[in-house]
Amino acid sequence: MALMGPTSTVIRTPSSSVARLGVFGGAFDPPHRAHVALAQAALNELMLDELRVFPTGQSWHKSQTSTAPEHRLAMARLAFGDLPRTVIDEREMRRPGPTYTIDTLRELKSQYPHASLFLVMGQDQAQSLGRWHEWQEILRMVTTCVAARPGTADSGAQGGWNLPEQATVHLLQLPSMSENATEIRERIAQSRRIDHLVPADVASYIAIHHLYEPF
């Protein structure tokens, strides 16, 4: 099991000093406190030189329409912008057609040929990993780093979450956090509080732009 935490919105010139590169993708619709905690855990526990946060474009596996890319990108900048060694990468939003993680990984490997890649994800993503496009190739290229609930043991990673046995897994230890983007959107639609679930700047942005409010 593998071991092993700059802020920008542009794609940087590859640096030979980046030996450990984290990859954290998601709709971030909206980004919440558990997302930020997971990013921070990855930076610290994996000893990353850099963490790239990828707001997704057109997700191949989701039937519902996501919030406009410009809003999700702005919220990602607000949520993750203060984390050290973190870059908000827009490439998946700019890519036409469905967004596939394998395409992003290949691009990163071309840019950083000597870097080890660490794919950061929550448990829900881990449980569906075997259905991802070219998942076998993804597992060959990365160490899979999964958010672990308190008390989760390393030995239960593959068996408990139905991860493919080929996966090299690192569990990222997080406190118990119940944040869920679907629940947050529903709370907003019901005019309920969300300030305890999302970063303050994200909550303000949502309110200013009237996101997730019922029509």
Q: Mean pLDDT, to the nearest integer, of 61-84?
A: 88
Convert the pLDDT of each residue in 145-187 to its tens digit: 999 866 555 544 454 566 777 788 999 988 888 789 999 999 9
Classify residue 215: in a domain, yes or no.
Answer: no
Classify residue 146: in a domain, yes or no.
Answer: yes
H/E run at residue 187: helix 181-189
Classify residue 101: in a domain, yes or no.
Answer: yes
Convert the pLDDT of each residue in 3-28 to its tens digit: 333 334 444 445 568 999 999 999 99
Give the CATH number of the domain where residue 150 resides: 3.40.50.620
Classify residue 111: in a domain, yes or no.
Answer: yes
Classify residue 85: in a domain, yes or no.
Answer: yes
- Write down the pLDDT at residue 94: 92
- Write down the pLDDT at residue 61: 53
Residue 208 pLDDT > 90: yes
- Write down the pLDDT at residue 66: 81
- Write down the pLDDT at residue 165: 75
| Proportion of the chain above pLDDT 90, given as a percent | 67
- Write down the pLDDT at residue 5: 32
The Cα–Cα gap between 92 and 53 comes to 10
- Write down the pLDDT at residue 4: 31
Number of separate domains in the chain? 1
- Tell me the β-bridge partners of 23: 52, 119
Alpha-carbon torsion (182, 173, 121, 56), positive or negative: positive
Q: Mean pLDDT, to the nearest integer, of 46-72?
A: 84
Residue 110 to residues 45, 78, 118, Cα–Cα distance (Å): 25, 29, 15
The Cα–Cα gap between 144 and 111 comes to 20
Give the alpha-carbon dihedral of 28, 143, 89, 46, to 10 degrees: 90
Classify residue 205: in a domain, yes or no.
Answer: no
The Cα–Cα gap between 155 and 16 comes to 34
Domain membership of residue 84 as a residue range = 20-177
Residue 33 pLDDT > 80: yes
Classify residue 149: in a domain, yes or no.
Answer: yes
Convert the pLDDT of each residue in 89-116 to its tens digit: 999 999 988 889 999 999 999 999 999 9
Nearest to 118, CA basis, from 35, 27, 13, 25 = 25
Classify residue 129: in a domain, yes or no.
Answer: yes
Q: Mean pLDDT, to the nearest integer, of 204-209?
A: 98
